[in-house]
Structure 1
């Protein structure tokens, strides 16, 4: 997915060390609505990045969309023309619908519910995403992972993985990256990460045993969530994300709704590096971002050409850069324990 904002905000995230503390703290992140394209566009709920939290481990971008009926009315579904990425990986995960993916590495693949599609941009890639004619309801998340500096220039790549559902009392989990509930994804990542979909039964309480060197984010897609072992129990509504910093070994959750709750759990070790994120690019310097934009607009072979896309726009123009240098934004990993 492309970030189609006409004036994207640059982000720089700064590492810091965790401190020994006691007591579980939770930060509530509310989403903002972003139209994916023009006036008839589908709206997505964006929880990352934002002013109070730019990164969760290596996770640097989280869009949550649907359920949107794209079979009738004025909403055309998803149709994102060829657009570029550098320095990141895209993680596509659907709850319903189907999306056709094409990229400049020659990959033509379908994104389907419960199946991970992970694209590595590395030094440069372009791709398209189009919901298929068979799709009636489009619903899912689009996530990005910032690559560490030593992997930012890696080759383009693509991985597809179908996690086996794991059943525990009160919950069904699909672990698409990392490890949870004894289930481990076979997909390699460039930094330690966790990504999983959880469906929690109505009224059920569960405990996530998590890695204390990870930060975690829990995005609510459906139902209503309560973080029971927070300093003060915290309710998290649909489209909101609960952030838990370093030091948590267990996160206790209750679905307070009378219907199943669906959650996306993200985690990872703090990236430990400063990054700048602007439009669809992740880099380390202003000059790196400027060069990538110029090469994309010049149709450089750095990004290649997407073949088979039938839309009218064959090369999505990049937004205009701000008139000043792209600036850093502090991103301090939180601590899950009170002093």
Structure 2
């Protein structure tokens, strides 16, 4: 395929000797500067008297976001990530952290509660469903393991309402929770600068008509005009050909795909999902271009592989905007 781009984004202090008959009360520990901190997430107010020190993360974009903030040493357990390439420098950090689940999901209730986490970071509610055998948000909160859901993905409706500003809000909140607000502010400023640069470069250029898909011949798994992927396309100077479909990930009939006439196609890229082997990018691209055989995208073989981790709330979202913009508007990045 001539234009296939592959996106590459750890105390106990024991006192020895005899205990005196009487002892003075120990002085209270002075509160850390900047604490307590309170943030709002999923309609809940979370208050922290000190930075978390034993964190468990769910699906990998949550862990990537902590890495981006320099907080990997606070993570005591993580889920498995084998869907797509690691961001530069992240794989060795990932390998140092104990794996508590062989899938992208958090472990089952008993195992999860046994972690003794003082903070749980994930980017959907799927790993907190009692019906699936998982510890609920309320059970973890009662156990002293408050849960933060990234991107405001707290309900199906809120998932559809996601904007890139939600990721920046997460960075600001996490910076406050972990006592590194200056670090978060610097990262946010850098990312805003990148977004502003993209906006300036693509300004005035005709938007490129984009189909974002996860493959399939009939129906086609595709991304409509709401949610993360739609936001990425729009910010990168594209026009989602399924913008009128008010859904994030949905099934679309082949006739609608053929009629959409995309100029370019984004293909979700991952190797495995919950242990299930998935079709390759090349195979999915071939299927999609066969459905849209008469489109400009098919004629030009214009396909970009988009890591599925970028299609969930997290730091990688903002990196993906730049890469998608370079793919859609290569001439805008010659200077």
What is the TM-score normalised by the length of structure 2? Answer: 0.29
Structure with higher Rg: it is 2
TM-score calculated relative to the size of structure 1? 0.29
Q: Of Structure 1 and Structure 2, which has the larger fraction of its residues in strand?
A: 1
Higher helix fraction: Structure 1 or Structure 2? 2
Q: Determine which structure has greater relative contact order: mean sequence separation of CA pairs < 8 Å that are 6+ residues apart, divided by chain length.
A: 1
